[in-house]
Every structure is written in structure tokens, then in C-alpha cells.
């Protein structure tokens, strides 16, 4: 089976990812764990190599040529990220280690200093632990109260329940754009619009949307957005926080150190303007530059193109999975064009526990995730102790889905055969 | 069946070692699920990264130095649940000291360094797990929990979870 857009996309682009051309346990690698981290194209690997071979130097510190080159490349990558999400100003992009650090930055710099006892933070039951625990810590310290939007009958964001939680007490809505477990695409424009009617701020966890579809912060109008580079073709160790410029300026620093200052005296200091106010110490320079290369690579393909192809993959994946009676999938079924969800699926099979399934599939070269995917409260809500998850990217093919489905069926048969 | 046709395949041979019939049978039809009566020791254990949990109860003899019965409740993969069931069976009528020695023996078996003598050879079906380093903690969970149960002060109160990571 070859999907309509595959010839023009996956088959052409796979060659850009050296890691995909290997055998695991004697079988061609089928990498279906992209929600955990994506693979990296040559362009990104070369950007890292080039930086260390030609430009390595500290940024913003030297007047020598290498330092100027490193600084230009580092700041240039910021422009690329800003353009990628259509931020109005380049200063609205703050580099962090990952999305978790970006959320913690907001929790500590804004949350701890702003929230009062009785103020309410609205989250959802589907949040990744990264967008839950920082708010639990903030709530414990400030006396703010956490409220949780539940799932609707399709195991997607319950908009009506959300509306019922909003009030004048709501100060923050922190919500995932695409759930890393349910795969549902949340109605973030509506979520933001409603929150703003109550003067609440909105933080969007875009880890699972940024790599897969166009994301426009001005259109969504969120106040903050976080992303992790390693899920969108960039290396580990680099992520970013987007924040509206005035809001970022109003926030006190998070970490103190070099790079983030204007003037330092023994007893006090003044701080640099954003974004540098939030980038203390020598940053992950090579990784930031490589994030710029990743964004170039993705934009070169076109996020619209990637998204359309992944919608086709989603439909094919669900068509096949839905034919296996033992399989229970979580999250909403795709609609006609799969515009309501991402190309990832969490599921269980009656017979085979997710860990056993993952071990069995691994022996056929197929990499999937098993466990709670850092969404333990969600797993409680859907009444599953753990699930298996296959998550796709634009370099995956219909043939790989076939291989996965075939091995899944064999595993179920193997476990069931013991008792006939 | 496809599985059998592919028997020459190395990786499938490993799988067959891992998921021996005994293991799958114990997973599907455990013999030692439940709670002892009375509960002389009670210990919960879990693997936080994967979510597997186990709750172990022990019934001891009158002088509290020998195990009369072991039962477990829990949720997890075939490896962790079968391991618990086999462990419960092997522990009956063992002294606490013997049980502790078995913990260490099991752990070295998981490193591929040891195996059980004839008397406990049933436990040796877990040897295949040693080929799958990421799954060793599944097999070890119940033994790790047992160790905590034995070492805990005499109490029937669950002393919180011990983590196997
Ligand atoms: C939805 C979501 N949010 C947050 C994170 C955390 O990302 P990181 O671990 O890179 O900070 C992840 C990734 O695991 C995720 O899928």
C-alpha cells in the first residue's frame, strides 16, 4: 500500500534521516515513538558539526570573529523560531532546555509572584506531568487552586466543562495543544478567547503540535507557548518559551547569572531586556543553532504539507487498528479528514500487556512506547494502568503501518494461543 | 502458526525463552493472587516509570521466623505478574533467612550469574529475562518488595511503596 502523498513525501525524505536506515534484531527499523522524540535529519546533524568545527565560541562575550559568528548564528536561530510560530517580535522567544523548563520558568517567574490564595488555575486531566507538577508546586506555595477540565464522551477536551470552570477567579489556563496520549487536537483558539474574557492568561503546551502542523501564536493569541526541540527534528537540550513581549518584560528573572544582566553591583543588579533576562549563563549554543536548522528543514517541506500527509497516515492507521477486535484505542476516532487528531494512538489489547507488546514488537524492529507516557492522572481517568502508543511522523510510511499491524496481530495470537 | 514457522529466527527464539508457556499460564491464571489471612507482613512495591504495582502479604508461623503463606495483588505485565506468582509458590515454608537468600539468588540470576538448585528449578524459567535488560526490573519487582517486607519492622500496616528503580 502506498498513500497518495507518500511518494512525494515520506519516501523522498527518509534518506535525510540516516538513523532510519538500520536493522534492529535483523529487521528494518520501524520507528513509531516520535511523540517521545523525533529523529534528526542530516541538515541538523551538519549544523551541529559545522558549529563545532568552524564557529565554536561563547556568545555575546567576545569581539573576535568566532564569537561574532556564534552570536549571529545563535540569534539567527531565534529569528527562525519566531518566524516558525509567527511571533510578532524576535525577543518573544526565550531559549530553554526543553518544554518542561519553559513551563517552570513561567510557573516560578510569573506564577509565584502573581497568584494569590484562592486564585484559580485551570488545567486539563490530560496534561503531561510537565504541565501539572509545576502548577502543583505553585499552588502549594501561593494558595492558588487547581481546576481540571475533564474529557467528553469521545475522550477529548470537554469544552462545556471548561466553560463551567471559568470565572473571575481564573488567572491562568494552561493546556496542551495536542495530547501526547489521546492525540486529540484541542480547540485552543476558543479556549484562549474564552479565558481572555475573564482576563486570565493562557499557556499552551505545543510539544505535540509544533512538529506536526502550522502553529500561529498571533492567531491563537495565547500568552505563552512552550515547545521542545527534540520532538521537532532538533537535538535534545534545547526548547523554547514564547511569551507576549510586554508580559515577559513584566516578569522578574527566573535564573540569575551571566548573560542576563545590564549592570551589576555588589548589592543589587539591573537586568537585560528580554529575551536575555531569562537566559542566564552560557546557553546551549550549538543546540539552539541546530534548532534553527530544524525549523528551516521543516519549513522547507512546509508544515501544511507535513500535516496533510500525517492526516492521511492517521486515517490509514485507524482503519487498520479498528479492524483488530482485541484492540481498544483511547482518544477520539479521527473524523473524515483526521483534522481532529494527530498521527499517534494509545491503545491496549485484552491479551497482551503494553510492556510485553513493546518487547515483542521490538524483536521485529518496531519501536513503540509502553507505560503511562507521563500522563498518570489521565490514565486513571480512562481506566487504563498503562497503554501502548504508536506515534508517527512524516517519514513513516503505510508499509510501516502494515508491518506494525501484522506484528501486533501476531503478538495477540501468540498470547492467546496458550489457552486456545 | 506464524510464530512457529519463524522458529529459526534468533530474536523470536529469545522471545520464546522470555515468554515460556509457564510464564504465560501464570500470568493468565495466577495461583497465589489475594491476601493472606492473617496479614503478618504487608508491603507495596512499584516501578514508577512503567506503572507496575504489587501488594504483597505474608502470613508467618507462630515464632514469626518462617513463611506460612504469601499472596499478591497487583497490576503489570506478564513478566512481573508471573514472577510474583512463582515467587509466592517457592516461598511457602521458607524461613525468613532462606527467603532473603533467595532474593539475592534471583537478583544474580537476572544478571545471568546464577540459577536456582533443583528444589526451586521452577524459578529458573525466569532466566530468559536476563536477555532483555530493560525487562529485568519487571521480574525483580516482587522480589524487591519481598525484601522490604522481610526487613520492615513487624507490622501489618502497608509501609508505603518501595520503588524498584
Ligand atoms: C505534551 C507534552 N508536554 C510536555 C512534554 C515534556 O517535554 P520535555 O520532556 O522535552 O520537557 C512532552 C514530552 O514528553 C509532551 O509530550
ipTM of the complex: 0.85
A361 vs A409: CA distance, rounded Å? 10
Tell whether A376 and A278 lie within a shared domain: no
Band of pLDDT at residue B141, cut at 50, 70 and 90? very high
Tell whether A246 and A155 lie within a shared domain: yes
Mutate to test the pocket of ligand 1, among A101, A104, A228, A389 (most ligand atoms within 8 A of CB): A228
Q: Are A363 and A28 a contacting pair, CB within 8 Å?
A: no
How many residues are there in chain A?
420
CATH (domain of A53): 3.40.640.10
Bridge partners of B42?
Answer: B57
Write out the H or E segment, with its range, that includes residue A37: none
Which is more confident, B76 or A1? B76
What's the pLDDT tens digit per position in A386-395?
A: 999 999 999 9
pLDDT for A329 equals 97
**E strands present in A4-119:** 23-24, 27-28, 30-31, 93-96
Distances (CA, A) of A220 to A124, A147, A189, A192, A251: 18, 22, 5, 7, 22
B76 touches chain A (CB under 8 A): yes
Domain end position, chosen among A300, A322, A350:
A300
What's the pLDDT tens digit per position in A126-150?
A: 999 999 999 999 999 999 999 999 9
Average pLDDT over residues A278-300: 97
Tell whether A100 and A244 lie within a shared domain: yes
Tell whether A91 and A168 lie within a shared domain: yes
Give the list of residues 6+ apart from residue A217 with CB closer than 8 angstroms, or none: A85, A86, A87, A225, A242
Out of A26, A359, A370, closest to residue B10 by CB: A26
Domain end position, chosen among A259, A276, A300:
A300
A285-301 and A65-84 are packed helices; what angle lies between their axes, rounded to 10 degrees? Answer: 40
Contact B77 A371 (CB under 8 A): no
Number of domains forming the structure of chain A: 2
Tell whether A59 and A205 lie within a shared domain: yes
Residue A279 three-state SS: coil
Q: A239: CA distance to ligand 1 center in Å?
A: 10
Out of B1, B78, B134, closest to residue A417 by CB: B1
B144 vs B165: CA distance, rounded Å? 10
Q: How far is B146 from chain A (nearest CA, A)?
A: 22
Interface of A with B (CB under 8 A): 25-27, 352-356, 359-360, 363-364, 370-372, 376, 379, 385-386, 410, 413-415, 417-419
- Sign for the pseudo-dihedral over CA of A169, A173, A179, A183: positive
A416 vs B27: CA distance, rounded Å? 12
Residue A216 three-state SS: coil
Tell whether A281 and A346 lie within a shared domain: no
HSE-CB of A284 using CA atoms within 13 angstroms: 19
pLDDT for B155 equals 54
Domain end position, chosen among A242, A273, A300:
A300
Contact B78 A353 (CB under 8 A): yes
Tell whether A146 and A19 lie within a shared domain: no
Tell whether A176 and A160 lie within a shared domain: yes
Average pLDDT over residues A167-181: 98
Total CB pairs under 8 A between chain A and B:
67
pLDDT for B17 equals 81
- Of the candidates B26, B7, B33, the residue with the CA atom closest to the CA atom of residue B139: B26
Tell whether A408 and A281 lie within a shared domain: no
Average pLDDT over residues B32-48: 94
Q: How far is B96 from chain A (nearest CA, A)?
A: 32
Report pTM. 0.93
Tell whether A235 and A219 lie within a shared domain: yes
Mutate to test the pocket of ligand 1, among A33, A37, A98, A100 (most ligand atoms within 8 A of CB): A100
Residue range of the domain that includes A196: 45-300
Band of pLDDT at residue B148, cut at 50, 70 and 90? very high
The pLDDT of residue B1 is above 70: no
Q: Residue A114: exposed, middle, or buried by beta-carbon count in 10 A (0-12, 13-18, 19+)?
A: middle
CATH (domain of A412): 3.90.1150.10
- Of the candidates A132, A133, A167, A169, the residue with the CA atom closest to the CA atom of residue A148: A132
Catalytic residue list of A: 374
B130 neighbourhood in chain A, CB within 8 Å:
none
Tell whether A262 and A370 lie within a shared domain: no
Domain B2-163: which topology? Sufe protein. Chain: A (3.90.1010)
- Of the candidates B85, B103, B82, B107, the residue with the CA atom closest to the CA atom of residue B94: B103
Q: Are A154 and A330 a contacting pair, CB within 8 Å?
A: no
Residue whose CA is at the smallest distance from ligand 1 atom 16: A180
A2 domain residue, yes or no: no
Tell whether A108 and A213 lie within a shared domain: yes
pLDDT for A181 equals 98
What's the pLDDT tens digit per position in B54-94?
A: 999 999 999 999 999 999 999 999 999 999 999 999 999 99
What's the pLDDT tens digit per position in A158-172?
A: 999 999 999 999 999
Residue A113: DSSP 8-state:
H
Q: Residue A412: exposed, middle, or buried by beta-carbon count in 10 A (0-12, 13-18, 19+)?
A: buried
Amino acid at each position: 500500500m502506498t498513500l497518495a502523498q507518500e511518494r512525494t513525501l515520506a519516501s523522498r525524505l527518509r534518506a535525510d534521516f540516516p538513523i532510519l536506515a538500520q536493522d534492529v534484531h535483523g529487521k528494518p527499523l520501524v520507528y513509531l515513538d516520535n511523540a517521545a522524540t523525533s529523529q534528526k535529519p542530516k541538515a541538523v546533524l551538519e549544523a551541529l558539526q559545522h558549529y563545532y568545527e568552524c564557529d565554536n565560541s561563547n556568545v555575546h562575550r567576545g569581539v573576535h570573529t568566532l564569537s561574532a559568528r556564534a552570536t549571529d548564528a545563535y540569534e539567527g536561530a531565534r529569528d527562525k523560531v519566531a518566524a516558525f510560530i509567527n511571533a510578532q517580535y524576535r525577543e518573544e522567544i526565550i531559549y530553554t532546555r526543553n518544554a518542561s523548563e519553559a513551563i517552570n520558568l513561567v510557573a516560578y517567574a510569573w506564577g509565584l509572584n502573581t497568584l494569590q490564595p484562592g486564585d484559580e488555575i485551570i488545567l486539563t486531566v490530560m496534561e503531561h506531568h510537565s504541565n501539572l507538577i509545576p502548577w502543583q508546586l505553585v499552588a502549594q506555595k501561593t494558595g492558588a487552586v487547581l481546576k481540571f477540565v475533564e474529557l467528553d464522551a469521545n475522550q477529548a477536551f470537554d469544552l462545556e466543562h471548561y466553560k463551567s470552570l471559568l470565572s473571575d477567579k481564573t488567572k491562568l489556563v494552561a493546556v496542551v495543544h495536542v495530547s501526547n496520549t489521546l492525540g486529540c487536537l484541542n480547540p485552543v483558539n476558543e479556549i484562549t478567547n474564552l479565558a481572555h474574557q475573564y482576563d486570565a492568561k493562557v499557556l499552551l503546551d505545543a510539544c505535540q503540535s509544533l512538529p506536526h502542523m502550522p502553529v500561529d501564536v498571533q492567531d491563537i493569541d495565547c500568552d505563552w507557548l512552550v515547545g521542545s526541540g527534540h520532538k521537532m527534528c532538533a537535538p535534545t537540550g534545547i526548547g523554547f518559551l514564547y511569551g507576549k513581549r510586554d508580559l515577559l518584560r513584566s516578569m522578574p528573572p527566573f535564573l540569575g547569572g551571566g548573560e542576563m544582566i545590564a549592570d551589576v553591583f555588589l548589592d543589587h543588579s539591573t537586568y537585560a531586556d528580554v529575551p536575555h533576562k531569562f537566559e542566564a549563563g552560557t546557553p546551549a549554543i550549538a543546540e539552539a543553532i541546530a534548532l534553527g536548522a530544524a525549523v528551516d528543514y521543516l519549513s522547507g517541506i512546509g508544515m501544511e504539507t507535513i500535516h496533510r500527509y500525517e492526516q492521511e497516515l492517521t486515517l490509514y492507521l485507524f482503519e487498520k487498528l479498528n479492524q483488530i477486535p482485541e484492540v481498544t484505542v483511547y482518544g477520539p476516532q479521527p473524523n473524515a479528514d483526521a483534522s481532529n487528531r494527530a498521527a499517534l494512538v494509545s491503545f491496549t489489547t485484552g491479551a497482551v500487556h503494553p510492556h510485553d507488546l513493546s518487547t515483542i514488537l521490538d524483536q521485529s524492529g518496531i519501536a513503540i512506547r509502553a507505560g503511562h507516557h507521563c500522563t498518570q492522572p489521565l490514565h486513571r481517568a480512562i481506566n487504563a494502568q498503562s497503554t501502548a502508543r504508536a506515534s508517527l511522523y512524516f517519514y513513516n510510511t503505510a508499509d510501516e503501518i502494515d508491518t506494525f499491524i501484522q506484528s501486533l496481530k501476531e503478538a495477540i495470537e501468540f498470547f492467546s494461543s496458550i489457552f486456545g | 502458526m506464524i510464530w512457529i514457522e519463524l522458529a529459526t529466527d534468533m530474536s523470536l527464539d529469545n522471545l520464546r525463552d522470555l515468554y515460556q508457556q509457564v510464564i504465560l499460564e501464570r500470568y493468565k491464571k495466577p495461583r497465589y493472587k489475594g491476601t493472606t489471612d492473617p496479614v503478618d507482613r504487608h508491603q507495596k512495591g512499584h516501578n514508577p516509570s512503567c506503572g507496575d504495582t504489587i501488594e504483597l502479604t505474608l502470613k508467618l508461623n507462630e515464632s514469626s521466623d518462617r513463611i506460612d503463606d504469601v499472596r499478591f495483588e497487583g497490576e503489570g505485565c506478564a513478566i512481573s505478574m508471573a514472577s510474583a506468582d512463582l515467587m509466592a509458590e517457592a516461598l511457602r515454608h521458607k524461613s525468613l533467612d532462606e527467603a532473603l537468600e533467595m532474593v539475592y539468588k534471583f537478583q544474580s540470576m537476572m544478571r545471568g550469574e546464577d540459577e536456582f538448585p533443583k528444589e526451586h528449578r521452577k524459578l529458573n524459567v525466569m532466566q530468559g529475562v536476563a536477555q532483555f535488560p530493560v525487562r529485568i526490573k519487571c521480574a525483580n519487582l516482587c522480589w524487591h518488595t519481598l525484601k522490604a517486607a522481610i526487613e520492615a519492622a513487624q507490622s501489618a500496616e502497608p509501609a508505603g511503596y518501595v520503588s524498584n528503580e
